[in-house]
Structure 1
């Protein structure tokens, strides 16, 4: 079927009008990575400017995350040249996102996203833009919805990618499928970059993209549109609930101080379950500023504290917050700060003391020392030139020797009885350049670096407890 350019433009026009995204005369920062979606977005807005918004101005912005070496630099150069061809102003910046994630001991994708939006907001402020346009598509919406559904998200999570955020960020392509942006570029002979990190995306998104969504489309060819409508209805519902929760929440508060809040158990129990879970999330949000990593399981654990005879019970959350029941009050207290994350290089012959251990690293060992839980024996030829020691991070996993599939670090720590109180400081030996876990005290060596029948020389890492 031939590509219908007019239909794509009509979808974008309808989205712009429905959510009142643009006004003639607006200055819009367009986030362009170089991929087909963002390149199509820039050209569509450029095309609509001539037809519908003659006084609209566009400003191209690109953040080089420095994650893919020469490829990332080529993306930056491509976007810069694209802006020059369209005679549009361009702002580019480079940030070492991997180093930022390492320093913060956080998920790389999450840190990259936050860095990208900070950059875009700063550019918008500097140039005086009223809007920031990003290239999220209907396909992105469908994938996000399905991923969150599989993780058990509630209405807030399933409301998906919002068309407008903070009256600043807009998603004009949210009614357009990804294949349509590619077809638009091909039909008009517009070049774009292919990001291998998108092709090699995280396992969840890859399987949703390649397996689950195609099967749904076999049942309903317009499944992405149906999912988009469901997300829209949930957004409307959540906006209503937000308003109700905002009105009800102050009535729950018994007392509040800088680091603590006490809520009425009686009033929480009297609330409708649909409101109760949202009120508890609001309490977490007010104490921590966000509810990231707080799942429905955590909220259900808090709800169980409201049951009779639960006084004295407490719940630890994946945010710096402890919640417990004190007679007729639910008490939320900010927990002490977690240990500072660390990362340092591990060099042969140079001991490193950290996390309650001193680590000693030797290479080229011919004769194997006696086996012990205090040392890790590695195949020296498999171990890269540079190693490092760091604290654990969310999402850490690796494939232990003798296993075929990766396991979560949290699962391995539990299985090997590493105390919860020590896990945030527990030293992990990783490859310095690509952050693959190699070994850790009390845990099995990673399969990629384990000794085998063909091992000729050993690399030995000793873990001495009680130092560092």
Structure 2
């Protein structure tokens, strides 16, 4: 019975084609073991991938050994990797759960390419989708967060979303197939487990069919989401610039707060922050908001600037400079694009260095005779707050010769006495 449900679900959702090789994410738990057995029984060519996150000491090694023996008995190729998940989470300043998610999906993608698989099969089922909806609702979400887990997301497929956890266990017992239980699934230390072990049972006291009701609501929202997402896509084109959100255009939209949510929520801003950001439109420029993922929003004069705080703190420029010298003649034409600068090579002291500008810096803007503070120059040129933070300068000794990508220093210009020209191009990394 369960095989037919999965087969029809795969066919209906067009998850896997008959000749596709499938890479199965295999933890050793009931759901992933059932997925592997079902796909094999449906004649799909499978390989398995197992992550040892080193989070449960001997139990993690037990899981790995179980998976190795299972794949050996099924004659299935197995790929295994060990992760130092705790160290990765500390480096990235993210939760253990998020660290494990990032590590495994990046590795799955690499293994898929190496083994020539068409898709990566993940063993999420109906109950996982219900828990995801409730988790998103508790944390705060938009309409897309209420749709549950998608059966198809790029090359990620979830063939078991049409069946419940109980049906999976029943199938394994009927087929006398062994699996292992992750002890953390029985603990309410994790938010998702609290939902599974405490919240849903309480909801079932009110409505025994609450799982079905939640999934049914998610299905009804699918068409609504299609209309909503089409509007968001078009609205984003009207309000977004390369720097951020044009405030005036946003406020002209039918539902500006909703659109603001859809743009900023995926960047880690919570509902309270989004309310504060919206209120900041009426205030003075300069107010900043930092999200849980390190993204930053700065209220400027007419634009809500968006960047990543790591960009502002970067010590390495996001570009390379290509330099070449050439003889100067009257036929030489100085390029007018801001990604190229030309200097009298004899006026330059090597080596040239790059750095972020700092307060007190000054230069002689091209075409002028007197010095000007960089801070005043950028204010006059209406640089945004983020653009100021991310501005780099090119130095010859202690002198700034180029406000990179903006304007050169007049003292180093090419003139009638120039014999050799130094041409510098900005190359993006």
Structure-1 residue corresponding to 2:176 = 189
- Trace 1:39-438 onto structure 2 (pairs within 5 A): 39-49=33-43, 56-166=44-154, 168-253=155-240, 256=242, 261-273=243-255, 276-279=257-260, 281-282=262-263, 284=264, 291=267, 293-306=268-281, 309-312=282-285, 314-318=287-291, 319-335=293-309
CA distance change for structure 1 residues 226 and 326 in 2, over 3 Å: closer, same or farther?
same
In 1: Cα distance, 2:253 partner to 2:97 partner:
37
Measured after TM superposition, the shift of residue 14 of structure 1 is: 3.0
Is the deviation greater in 178-187 or in 218-227? Answer: 218-227
TM-score by length of 1: 0.62
In 1: Cα distance, 2:71 partner to 2:11 partner:
26
Is the deviation greater in 320-329 or in 217-226? Answer: 320-329
User: How many residue pairs align between the two structures?
Assistant: 313
In 2: Cα distance, 1:141 partner to 1:172 partner:
13
Partner SS, residue 12 of structure 1? helix
In 2: Cα distance, 1:155 partner to 1:315 partner:
27
Question: Does the 8 Å contact 2:30/2:169 carry over to 1?
Answer: yes
Alignment partner of 1:31 out of 25, 35, 39 = 25
In 1: Cα distance, 2:232 partner to 2:275 partner:
18
Structure-1 residue corresponding to 2:370 = none
Question: Does the 8 Å contact 2:50/2:79 carry over to 1?
Answer: yes
Greater share of residues in helix: 2
CA distance change for structure 1 residues 153 and 81 in 2, over 3 Å: closer, same or farther?
same
Question: Does the 8 Å contact 1:264/1:328 carry over to 2?
Answer: yes
Structure 2 stretches of 5 or more lacking a match?
A: 315-429
Partner SS, residue 42 of structure 2? helix
CA distance change for structure 1 residues 322 and 85 in 2, over 3 Å: closer, same or farther?
closer
CA distance change for structure 1 residues 262 and 20 in 2, over 3 Å: closer, same or farther?
closer
Partner SS, residue 25 of structure 1? coil
String of CA shifts for 1:228-269, please: whole Å, max 9, x gaps. Answer: 23233444433443333222223224x53xxxx153322211
In 2: Cα distance, 1:334 partner to 1:93 partner:
31
In 2: Cα distance, 1:130 partner to 1:192 partner:
26
From the CA coordinates, give the structure whose radius of gyration is larger: 2
CA distance change for structure 1 residues 324 and 106 in 2, over 3 Å: closer, same or farther?
closer
String of CA shifts for 1:373-416, please: whole Å, max 9, x gaps. Answer: xxxxxxxxxxxxxxxxxxxxxxxxxxxxxxxxxxxxxxxxxxxx
In 1: Cα distance, 2:20 partner to 2:200 partner:
36
In 1: Cα distance, 2:309 partner to 2:57 partner:
40
CA distance change for structure 1 residues 304 and 18 in 2, over 3 Å: closer, same or farther?
farther
Measured after TM superposition, the shift of residue 272 of structure 1 is: 2.2
Measured after TM superposition, the shift of residue 96 of structure 1 is: 1.7
Structure-1 residue corresponding to 2:398 = none
CA distance change for structure 1 residues 12 and 329 in 2, over 3 Å: closer, same or farther?
same
CA RMSD of aligned residues (A): 2.4
String of CA shifts for 1:207-232, please: whole Å, max 9, x gaps. Answer: 32122212323333332222223233
CA distance change for structure 1 residues 333 and 148 in 2, over 3 Å: closer, same or farther?
closer
Partner SS, residue 15 of structure 2? coil
Structure 1 stretches of 5 or more lacking a match?
A: 1-5, 50-55, 341-468
String of CA shifts for 1:137-182, please: whole Å, max 9, x gaps. Answer: 111111121122122222122222111111x111111121111111
In 2: Cα distance, 1:31 partner to 1:177 partner:
18
Partner SS, residue 114 of structure 1? helix
TM-score by length of 2: 0.67
In 1: Cα distance, 2:257 partner to 2:235 partner:
10
